[in-house]
């Protein structure tokens, strides 16, 4: 990661085609192009990718403990209302 003015610039390889990509240059970052971004979306839509673990604890959902879920979702570390933002 490097600095460009006050913006952080991230560089890595496109997850689809492995081409070098840069957040300052590519509007589709982390992808190198709209085509790769669309291919990734297609992979999710065709279920080539899966989430390996449940997002929520099924027992908490069954017991009605929704407060803990709300707290996790409300814990936005990069909130625009944060004075450090």
- pLDDT: which is higher, 73 or 54: 54
- pLDDT: which is higher, 79 or 51: 51
pLDDT tens sequence across 13-48:
999 999 999 888 889 999 999 999 999 999 999 999
Q: What pLDDT is attached to residue 24?
A: 86
Instruction: Return the domain boundaries, the chain.
Output: 2-74
Q: Which residue has the tokens 């403990």?
A: 65
Coil/strand/helix, residue 25: coil
Q: How far, in Å, are 25, 38, 65, 69 from residue 11 at the CA level?
A: 10, 20, 41, 33
Contact (CB, 8 A) for 41 and 28: no
pLDDT tens sequence across 52-72:
777 777 777 777 655 555 545
pTM for this prediction: 0.52
CATH number for 2-74 (one of 3.30.50.10, 3.90.580.10, 3.30.710.10, 2.40.420.20): it is: 3.30.50.10
């Amino acid at each position: 990661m490097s600095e460009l003015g006050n913006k952080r610039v991230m560089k890595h390889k496109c997850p689809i085609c492995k081409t070098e990509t840069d957040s300052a240059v590519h509007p589709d970052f982390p992808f190198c192009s709209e085509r790769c971004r669309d291919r990734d979306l297609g992979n999710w839509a065709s279920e080539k990718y899966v989430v390996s673990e449940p997002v929520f604890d099924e027992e908490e959902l069954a017991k009605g403990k929704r407060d803990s879920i709300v707290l996790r979702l409300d814990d936005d570390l990069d909130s625009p209302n944060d004075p450090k933002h």
